[in-house]
């Protein structure tokens, strides 16, 4: 269809040297083709042209003083992509690779993901090219305080509600919240992922990983199978990976790998609760490297590689974007992997996605499979508004329900538009229709 090509050309021209943003936009636009062809109202209202242009983008200087007394300068971002469904909502990423392209791709994905959750949240994302690795707690606090000193004027519980992502966990959210409270003179739900002791939701830390496993369970149900006994490869060792592994163990599956940016560990006996507790202590307390696992448990450590060459039934990419190449996807399929549930955002490059779809494996794209994290953030917002925390069981049962509803919605939408089993098409169309409907209702804004 000419329109989609034209919009993509414009995106390319307007955003030169933003390959990740272009990749995310291309995937969504190409897969929602059937709904655009069927509906003149979306074409007339220029919905696509509007969707690809952020409502607002903020880029700012983040000066701070390191432990040696030296002045450091980082670059901060917040991309407020779309507010048709609610306040902007999405995480903050602190990683040296952060740039406009990465934050825009994440913000774009977030719009459709948040729509799929069924909760009233628009889409946004932010972050900085700050590397928390090797920094002291005091340095991280000073950085967070400086970052929030600018960000606070752009966010608020009814405007934009950030949370964590790579490099931003409970510690960072705490420091960011403290500074917001001081500047705004308000104790409000301006951030999610807070400690449950002072306004956070129980289960929020677990939600992304648990949700990705619940989504995998839903996919397996279509083949009358469960995750029990399945050999699983997992990448990453941070928040998403730790709780994916935790839920896999609880369900009786056998996770055999974890990784970080230096390499991966392979434990042929499978991780256990005790071994995972060690990973949590290395990563969350000592802030060390995953190779310590191999030394402690006599597992194999492979430096500089990802775990996709191993034989497995199911794969859970939980580290970062573009971590499964076309070649990795081929190896996974050849080795018998028949389920991929993306806990990370856009972890599979398009050639890999195409292969998974062609081979008809169960493929849960990130914006559906990892939506449990932001959904539980939405539940944190509800609890903050009510000033009433829910017990674990309540949050977990809502999370399970949301994940199964997302699956059902994407599965049925895929069939309705002539692509049965294709959850990329299903999730993108289902996410799109809700946002586009709200944009039509709200006029030319
Ligand atoms: P963390 O910072 O807790 O952990 C990130 C993990 O991924 C670390 O093990 C890190 O290794 C590894 N990693 C990061 N960048 C790279 C890279 N360029 N190459 C190889 N490994 C890398 O982040 P999260 O677990 O929160 O996030 C992981 C993924 O999940 C991201 O794609 C994020 O967008 C997505 N996600 C997170 C949600 C959340 O609620 N936290 C919700 C939905 C999606 P190292 O320590 O060496 O850097
Ligand atoms: O990518 C994501 O959905 C997140 N990092 C979580 C966002 C949130 O607002 O909880």
Query: Which class for 357: exposed (0-12), middle (13-18), buried (19 or more C-beta within 10 A)?
Result: middle
Give the distance (Å) from ligand 1 centre to CA of residue 46.
35
Query: Which residue ranges does the chain devote to CATH 3.40.50.10860?
Result: 2-186
Is CATH 3.40.50.10860 the classification given to domain 2-186? yes
pLDDT of residue 155: 98
For the sheet containing 300-303, what is the strand order? 257-260, 263-266, 300-303
Query: Is the minimum distance from the CB of 163 to ligand 2 under 6 angstroms?
Result: yes
Q: In sequence order, what are the beta bridge partners of 160? A: 88, 156
Query: Is the minimum distance from the CB of 244 to ligand 1 under 6 angstroms?
Result: no
Measured between alpha carbons, how far is 331 from 220 in angstroms, rounded to an integer?
21
Angle, CA 40 vertex, CA 34 and CA 41 arms, to 5°: 115
Ligand 2 atom with minimal separation from the 90 CA: 9
- The answer to whether the predicted template modeling score (pTM) of the entire model surpasses 0.95 is yes
Query: Is the minimum distance from the CB of 203 to ligand 1 under 6 angstroms?
Result: no
Query: Which residue ranges does the chain devote to CATH 3.40.50.720?
Result: 206-360
**HEC letters along the chain:** CHHHHHHHHHHHHHCCCCHHHHHHHHHHHHHCHHHHHHCHHHHHCCHHHHHCCCCEEEEEEEEEECCCCCEEEEEEEEEEEECCCCCEEEEEEECCCCCHHHHHHHHHHHHHHHHHHCCCCCEEEEEECCCCCCCCHHHHHHHHHHHHHHHHHHCECCCEEEECECCECHHHHHHHHHHHHHHHCCCCCCCCCCCHHHCCCCCHHHHHHHHHHHHHHHHHHCCCCCCCCCEEEECCCCHHHHHHHHHHHHCCCEECEEEECCEEEECCCCCCHHHHHHHHHHHHHHCCCCHHHHHHHCCEEEECCCHHHCCCCEEECCCCCCCECHHHHHHHHHCCCCEEECCCCCCECHHHHHHHHHCCCEEECHHHHCHHHHHHHHHHHHHHHHCCCCCHHHHHHHHHHHHHHHHHHHHHHHHHCCCCCCHHHHHHHHHHHHHHHHHHHCCCC
Query: Is the minimum distance from the CB of 103 to ligand 1 under 6 angstroms?
Result: no
Measured between alpha carbons, how far is 113 from 132 in angstroms, rounded to an integer?
27
The answer to whether 257 and 295 have CB atoms below 8 angstroms apart is: no
**Around Cβ 25, how many Cβ atoms within 10 Å?**
23
Give the distance (Å) from ligand 2 centre to CA of residue 434.
19
pLDDT of residue 225: 98
Cβ contacts of 237 within 8 Å, gap of 6 or more: 258, 259, 260, 279, 282, 283, 290
Ligand 2 atom with minimal separation from the 121 CA: 9
Residue 344 gets the label, from left (phi > 0), alpha (psi -120 to 50) or beta, of beta
Give the distance (Å) from ligand 2 centre to CA of residue 243.
15
Give the distance (Å) from ligand 1 centre to CA of residue 344.
7
Ligand nearest to the CA of 264: 1
Ligand 2 atom with minimal separation from the 93 CA: 5
pLDDT of residue 1: 67
Q: Please report, for residues 26, 116, 205, 247, 372, the alpha-carbon distance to residue 376 in angstroms, rounded to integers and kept in the order given.
A: 28, 13, 9, 16, 6
Pocket test for ligand 1, best of 127, 133, 319 (most atoms within 8 A of CB): 319
The answer to whether 12 and 5 have CB atoms below 8 angstroms apart is: no
Measured between alpha carbons, how far is 394 from 222 in angstroms, rounded to an integer?
26
Query: Is the minimum distance from the CB of 20 to ligand 1 under 6 angstroms?
Result: no
Per-residue pLDDT of the chain (445 residues; tens, 9 = 90+): 699 999 999 999 999 999 999 999 999 999 999 999 999 999 999 999 999 999 999 999 999 999 999 999 999 999 999 999 999 999 999 999 999 999 999 999 999 999 999 999 999 999 999 999 999 999 999 999 999 999 999 999 999 999 999 999 999 999 999 999 999 999 999 999 999 999 999 999 999 999 999 999 999 999 999 999 999 999 999 999 999 999 999 999 999 999 999 999 999 999 999 999 999 999 999 999 999 999 999 999 999 999 999 999 999 999 999 999 999 999 999 999 999 999 999 999 999 999 999 999 999 999 999 999 999 999 999 999 999 999 999 999 999 999 999 999 999 999 999 999 999 999 999 999 999 999 999 999 9
Measured between alpha carbons, how far is 93 from 73 in angstroms, rounded to an integer?
17
Residue 379 gets the label, from left (phi > 0), alpha (psi -120 to 50) or beta, of alpha
Catalytic one of 89, 104, 113, 125: 125
Give the distance (Å) from ligand 1 centre to CA of residue 152.
25
CATH topology for 206-360? Rossmann fold (3.40.50)
């Amino acid at each position: 269809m000419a329109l989609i090509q034209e919009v993509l050309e414009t995106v390319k021209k307007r955003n030169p040297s933003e390959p990740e943003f272009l990749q995310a936009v291309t995937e969504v636009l190409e897969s929602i083709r059937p709904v655009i062809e069927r509906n003149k109202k979306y074409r007339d209202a220029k919905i696509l042209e509007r969707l690809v242009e952020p409502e607002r983008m903020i880029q700012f200087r983040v000066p701070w003083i390191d432990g040696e007394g030296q002045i450091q300068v980082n670059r901060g971002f917040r991309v407020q992509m779309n507010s048709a469904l609610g306040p902007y909502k999405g995480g903050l990423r602190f990683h040296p690779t952060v740039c406009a392209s990465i934050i825009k791709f994440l913000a774009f994905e977030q719009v459709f993901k948040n729509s799929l959750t069924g909760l009233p949240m628009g889409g946004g994302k932010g972050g900085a090219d700050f590397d928390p690795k090797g920094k002291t707690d005091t340095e991280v606090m000073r950085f967070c305080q400086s970052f929030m000193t600018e960000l606070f004027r752009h966010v608020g519980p009814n405007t934009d509600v950030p949370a964590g992502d790579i490099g931003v966990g409970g510690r960072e959210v705490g420091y960011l919240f403290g500074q917001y409270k001081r500047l705004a003179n308000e104790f409000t739900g301006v951030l999610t992922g807070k400690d449950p002791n002072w306004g956070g939701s129980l289960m929020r830390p677990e939600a992304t990983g648990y949700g990705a496993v619940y989504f995998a369970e839903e996919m397996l149900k279509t083949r009358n199978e469960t995750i029990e006994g399945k050999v699983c490869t997992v990448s990453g060792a941070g928040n998403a990976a730790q709780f994916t592994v935790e839920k896999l163990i609880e369900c009786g599956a056998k996770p055999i790998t974890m990784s970080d940016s230096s390499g991966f560990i392979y434990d042929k006996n499978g991780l256990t609760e005790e071994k995972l507790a060690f990973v949590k202590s290395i990563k969350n307390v000592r802030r060390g490297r995953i190779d310590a696992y191999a030394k402690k448990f006599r597992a194999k450590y492979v430096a500089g590689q990802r775990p996709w060459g191993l034989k497995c039934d199911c794969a859970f990419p939980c580290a970062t974007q573009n971590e499964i190449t076309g070649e990795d996807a081929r190896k996974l399929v050849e080795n018998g992997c028949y389920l991929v549930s993306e806990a990370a955002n856009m972890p599979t490059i398009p050639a890999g996605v195409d292969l998974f779809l062609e081979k008809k494996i169960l493929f849960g794209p990130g914006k559906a499979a990892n939506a449990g994290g932001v959904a539980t953030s939405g539940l944190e917002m509800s609890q903050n508004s009510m000033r009433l925390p829910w017990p674990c069981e309540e949050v977990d049962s809502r999370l399970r329900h949301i994940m199964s509803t997302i699956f059902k919605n994407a599965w049925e939408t895929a069939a309705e538009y002539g692509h049965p089993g294709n959850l990329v098409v299903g999730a993108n169309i289902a996410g799109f229709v809700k946002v586009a409907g709200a944009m039509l209702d709200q006029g030319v804004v």
